[in-house]
């Protein structure tokens, strides 16, 4: 079902009840671009921490427009043993409400636009009929402005000259009450509503909602929603855009507080055991194809009456609603596959099964060598990076210069940070001290251990925190975890394996990006000199509620 | 005629010959937005200098995309006494050539997109079939990259690791010759071409074109073009975008050097005598309507065979080709009207007539109180602004605070610069000294004369020029004129009239923006306390080649 400016109001009930009845939801977004940074490698360094990656995306991806939002609701029909789906395609465009409301500027990236155009994406529908939106704060501002103007046109105010700063909130409030209002006002804690008496006299009701009350209401709502499961494929950007565009400005470790649902990323699922070994291409289209074949089973799905149905044989990839639909199918196939490990095996694994809980709130991270996901509801993985060096050098240096510098150490891997710095991964940790020693008297370049590098960053961060303006800008305000002083991180990473990931392998990491990382349980480490993948011996039994995610290094 | 990626090559001959044969060309562009600044008032201060305005547009408008370029060629048929027109609508989109070619990011402004959408603009045609483009520099880079890759795939180079800096130019040139090439290379002075011998052996011809030779060739080309007249309506942004997008990065006083044609702005023409008094709305649509009526005459125009014809009764405004066509019609009507002042009167005034020369290369400036145009081929007007004060104050101040501060001085006009500064125009120059004296001991605010303000800016500029990085960024490199030290400007402005332009009048200035400015010849000044326009008594006779532009202050 297409939802545009024209049928938005009429569709809302349908949308609400579809969500209400659903067992889980699948979402997907189409954006006007991905990165306004100089290039993708600047955005995705293979040794980013989850926090760094998140901050980069926040900085370089949020000025694009999420202009198509796909929602597919899946409701399980026990009697028929099949899912009933309802698909919605929301076209989104920030049409200005009037001359004084926000005139949003958004960036378009030619390659993204060109790609969507080649897929037949209908830009005219977006720009002509897209649903306008405001985030919470803009909505409050607009309501206040509107009130102010109504008051003025009713003769209750005659402010003739308005400075650029005038529209800051308390416009409609009489002068003598403003101080009081300012004192009781909280950011987002003030609820303003215009009501009418029976005699049609208008009045403004301002209710102060304190922090406790607000949290209580949010908890209530959260419980009411029972953390409905929302499934996406490679969904970090989708989630960030959705919050940023429709809810509020992204802050640092935002996600935990804001989410009223549980997220599941099918790309993360497909790159984790037991799926990792069975699936060799986790792009959405390929994943869906593979999940139709043995040992997986295509799920039984019917389209709800009155909704247009998709034919998966006739692909409509990169229409957000279709992609959401396919994502949901992938989730069902993988969830049901987990059921085959139970004794006795189960054919249908519901969205609330504990079997899939290990995948909750872990969002896939592209192209990070040793950290597969950003953990929304817990501390992030902190792989040991004591074989990693941070090297700074003149901007004339090329990768070959680094290879030459470290030629004594066998295979190395270089991850460029910028023109004058890079991470260099040595194949063995005990080489680190030798490299540090030989570099002591070097003048043209400088080597730090990864731990020293982290400490340097932390120092910069703390200085920024003490300063005032720099704080909010690049945002290291609330790290997910408190790093242990003097050490790089915890001890999640087994360092017994030789590491040798060539640049080519790093490219491959685009499709199989979790090669080379290790988790915190049952870690099997395989020495590997080449760039080919090595099969793991991970045989394991799963029981409902006792599922263990096996994280295997190649 | 629509020109897209699909028929671009096939259309080129038609386009070239249409331009070649034409008496004049009319152009118009449609953009994805106007200003990425916080608001229009920040972009268009009523007391900007032409240079300041140009720099603001360069900074805040060039990241939008010119995505439809309209060209209408007008060729006069002496025998039939009518113009023959050919109209082209070029759809433009920077489709990336390949994965390593520039991936352009451009900004969209919701209000502009929404406006075009409401006019039925076809965004799908732009994004699906738009003609890709490169500016000169990008073209050179792409050619070099292409050569480099061809050489590598032929085995002549085996650079395995390429740093982010590697693609800087001399990739395909053998190591032993690079130094030599570097020595003889000029920016834009090196012409690289791949040629083949009769025996199909490929070779690169690198020709060094020195500065003299390059200038000679450009002069030749310029003479060949004989400065073809290019007409636009409110065309400053069109010209800037065209140069920026298809030719080269805009520098400071770019225009004079680059232009191979002569420009005429119909909005400037319509707001100048003798048209100013006859035309009360100079928006393109209104102008065109008024120029059909007496004392003007609609021009006789026919569409060339094979070209789709426009029906002016059925408006297609804001399609670039149609707007270019209408602009051409307006120009003809106004040019022919000038012919009625000749003895004997002439019904047809050709594009090369000296009668219209006073309008050449003067581009209309929106919303500047006392300077109507940016002069491309001569010094800009420098109105006397000795009744203007530059005031800085706490950011809590509103316009009413300024009115209160200057309440002793009668009518004032406030032009906000930013949150903490504004220009205040007093109604009489002799009040300036009084205001300065009374402010001497003020602590919360500070007053400077306009001359002092200019000197301060100049100081900042010179400091920037001595620094290195700041130079190119905000660009005050080559001012159009050398300001006389210690004085605000020349003596172009009569200051005998009382000035009182209310904020409302400033708003009106959007459509009749030259109210309140004065020129350098035959200045008639009228005292005016209100905001209504006052008729001038400017009667005058014109002779071919002796035309004088009468610049009249209301």
DSSP for B25-57 reads EEEEEEES-S--SS-HHHH--TT--HHHHHHHH
Cα dihedral sign, B327-B333-B339-B340: negative
List the single residue in A107, A124, A395 with the smallest CB-CB distance to B107.
A107
**Whole-number Cα distances in Å, A435 to A390, A402, A414, A438:** 11, 12, 15, 5
| A328, containing H or E segment | helix A320-339
Scan residues 465-504 of A and list those with Cβ closer than 8 Å to B.
503
B457 vs A: CB within 8 A:
no
Q: Which residues contact B229 (CB under 8 A, 6 or more apart)?
A: B23, B24, B25, B261, B262, B263, B264, B351, B352, B360
Predicted-complex ipTM score:
0.73
Considering only the beta carbons, identify the residue of A41, A113, A161 that sits closest to B398: A161
Interface test with A, best of B119, B164, B393, B445 (most A CBs within 10 A): B164
Distance, in Å, from the CA atom of A165 to the CA atom of B418, rounded to the nearest integer, reads 10
DSSP letter, residue A356 = G
Q: Residue for token digits 């009115």?
A: B403
- A139: number of Cβ within 10 Å: 11
Which residue has 């050919």 as its token pair?
B86
Per the structure block, which two tokens stand in for A380? Answer: 């992030």
Task: Determine contact: B171 vs chain A, CB below 8 A.
Answer: no
Q: Which two tokens stand for residue B536?
A: 């001038």
String of DSSP letters for B480-537: SS-PPTTSSS-S-----S-----HHHHHHTTTSTTTT---SSS-B----SSSS-----
How many angstroms separate the CA of residue B77 from the nearest CA in chain A? Answer: 41
| Pairing, β A301-303 against β A373-375 | unpaired
Q: A522: which residues sit within 8 A by CB, 6+ positions away?
A: A538, A548, A550, A551
A-facing residues of B in 20-59 (CB < 8 A) are: 32-33, 36, 39, 41
Tokens 């685009």 -> residue:
A510
- Long-range contact list for B404-409, CB < 8 A, 24+ apart? B405/B445, B406/B435, B409/B434, B409/B435
| Buried/exposed B331-347: b ≥16 CB within 10 Å, e otherwise | bbbbbbbbbebeeeebe
With a CB cutoff of 8 Å and minimum separation 6, the contacts of A382 are A481, A483, A488, A489, A490, A492
Q: Is A110 close to B128, i.e. CB distance below 8 A? A: no
Residue A363: which H helix or E strand, with range? strand A362-364
Q: How far apart are the first and last CA of chain A?
A: 44
The residue behind tokens 């991964």 is A425
Tell me how far apart the alpha carbons of residues A62 and A59 are, in angstroms, rounded to a whole number.
7
Residue B100: CB atoms within 10 Å: 14
**Chain A residues near residue B117 by CB distance under 8 angstroms:** 124, 127-128
**Nearest-angstrom CA–CA distance, A193 and A205:** 5
Q: Could you list the pLDDT tens digit for every one of the 554 residues in chain B?
A: 999 999 999 999 999 999 999 999 999 999 999 988 766 666 788 899 898 899 899 999 999 999 999 999 999 999 999 999 999 999 999 999 887 778 999 999 999 999 999 999 999 999 999 999 998 888 888 888 888 888 887 654 443 333 333 333 444 445 555 555 454 446 444 444 445 555 655 555 555 566 676 676 666 555 544 589 999 999 999 999 998 999 887 766 555 555 667 999 999 999 999 999 999 999 999 999 999 999 999 999 999 999 988 876 666 777 999 999 999 999 999 999 999 999 999 999 999 999 999 999 999 999 898 999 999 888 889 898 999 999 999 999 999 999 999 988 888 999 988 889 999 999 989 889 988 888 888 889 999 999 999 898 888 877 776 654 333 333 322 223 233 333 333 333 333 332 222 222 223 333 333 333 333 323 232 333 332 222 222 322 222 222 322 222 22
Residues of B in contact with A506 (CB under 8 A): none
DSSP H or E segment with residue B255: helix B254-258
Which residues fall within 8 angstroms of residue A475, CB to CB, at 6 or more apart? A55, A58, A251, A252
- Rounded distance, CA B317 to CA A65, Å? 28
DSSP label of A195: E
Residues across chain B: 554
As given in the structure block, the two tokens for residue B173 are 């040139």
Between residues B530 and A187, the one the model is more confident about: A187
What is the C-alpha end-to-end distance of chain B, expressed in Å? 44
Bridge partners of A109? B105
What chain B residue is nearest to A98 in terms of C-alpha separation?
B111
Q: Which two tokens stand for residue B208?
A: 């060094």
CB A540 within 8 A of CB A274: yes
Token couple for B14: 């038609």
Helix (H/G/I), strand (E/B), else coil: A303? strand
Locate the chain A residue with the closest alpha carbon to B119: A128
Radius of gyration of chain B (CA): 26
Q: Please write the tens of the pLDDT for every residue from A481-504.
A: 233 333 333 333 333 322 222 222
One DSSP character per residue, A274-287 reads: TTTTT-S--SHHHH
- A116 vs B: CB within 8 A: yes
Query: What CA–CA distance (Å, rounded) separates B550 from A131?
Result: 51
Q: Which residues face B481 on adjacent strands?
A: none
Distance in angstroms (rounded) separating the CA atoms of residues B453 and B388: 10
């Amino acid at each position: 079902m297409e939802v545009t400016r024209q049928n938005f109001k009429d569709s809302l009930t349908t949308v609400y009840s579809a969500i209400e009845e659903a067992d889980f939801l699948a979402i997907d977004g189409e954006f006007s671009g991905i990165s306004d940074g100089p290039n993708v490698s600047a955005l995705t360094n293979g040794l980013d921490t989850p926090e760094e990656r998140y901050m980069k995306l926040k900085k370089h991806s949020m000025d694009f427009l999420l202009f198509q939002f796909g929602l597919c609701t899946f409701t399980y029909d026990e009697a028929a043993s099949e899912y009933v789906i309802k698909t919605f395609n929301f076209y989104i465009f920030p049409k200005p409400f009037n001359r004084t409301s926000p005139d949003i500027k958004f960036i378009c990236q030619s390659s993204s636009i060109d790609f969507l155009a080649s897929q037949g994406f209908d830009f005219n529908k977006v720009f002509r009929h897209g649903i306008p939106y405001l985030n919470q704060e803009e909505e409050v501002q607009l309501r206040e402005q509107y009130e102010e103007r109504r008051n003025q046109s009713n003769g209750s105010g005659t402010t003739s000259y308005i400075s650029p700063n005038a529209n800051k909130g308390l416009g409609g409030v009489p002068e003598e009450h403003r101080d009081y209002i300012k004192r009781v006002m909280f950011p987002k804690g003030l609820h303003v509503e215009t009501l009418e008496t029976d005699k049609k006299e208008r009045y403004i009701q301002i209710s102060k909602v304190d922090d406790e009350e607000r949290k209580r209401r949010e908890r209530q709502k959260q419980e009411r929603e029972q953390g409905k499961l929302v499934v996406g494929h490679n969904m970090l950007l989708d989630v960030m855009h959705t919050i940023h565009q429709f809810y509020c400005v992204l802050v640092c470790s935002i996600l935990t507080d804001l989410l009223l649902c549980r997220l599941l990323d099918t790309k993360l699922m497909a790159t984790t055991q037991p799926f990792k070994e069975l699936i060799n291409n986790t792009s959405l289209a390929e994943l869906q194809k593979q999940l139709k074949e043995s040992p997986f089973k295509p799920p039984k799905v019917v389209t709800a009456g009155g909704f247009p149905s998709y034919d998966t044989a006739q692909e409509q990839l990169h229409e957000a609603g279709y992609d959401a639909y396919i994502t949901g199918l992938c989730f069902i196939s993988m969830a049901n596959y987990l059921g085959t490990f139970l004794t006795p095996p189960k054919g249908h694994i519901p969205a609330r099964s504990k079997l899939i809980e290990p995948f909750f709130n872990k969002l896939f991270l592209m192209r990070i060598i040793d950290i597969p996901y950003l953990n929304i509801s817990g501390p992030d993985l902190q792989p040991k990076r004591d074989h990693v060096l941070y090297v700074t050098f003149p901007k004339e240096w090329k990768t070959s210069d680094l290879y030459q510098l470290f030629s004594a150490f066998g295979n190395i891997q270089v991850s460029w940070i910028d023109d004058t710095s890079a991470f260099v991964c040595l194949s063995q940790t005990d080489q680190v001290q030798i490299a540090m020693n030989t570099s002591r008297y070097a003048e043209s370049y400088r080597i730090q251990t990864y731990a020293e590098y982290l400490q340097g960053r932390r120092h910069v961060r703390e200085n920024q925190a003490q300063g005032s303006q720099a704080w909010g800008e690049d945002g290291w305000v609330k790290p997910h975890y408190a790093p242990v002083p003097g050490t790089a991180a915890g001890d999640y990473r087994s360092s017994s394996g030789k590491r040798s990931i060539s640049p080519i392998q790093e490219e491959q990491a685009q499709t199989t990006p979790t090669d080379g990382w290790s988790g915190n349980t049952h870690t099997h480490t395989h020495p590997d000199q080449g760039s080919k993948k090595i099969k793991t011996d991970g045989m394991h039994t799963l029981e409902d509620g006792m599922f263990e995610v096996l994280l295997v290094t190649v």
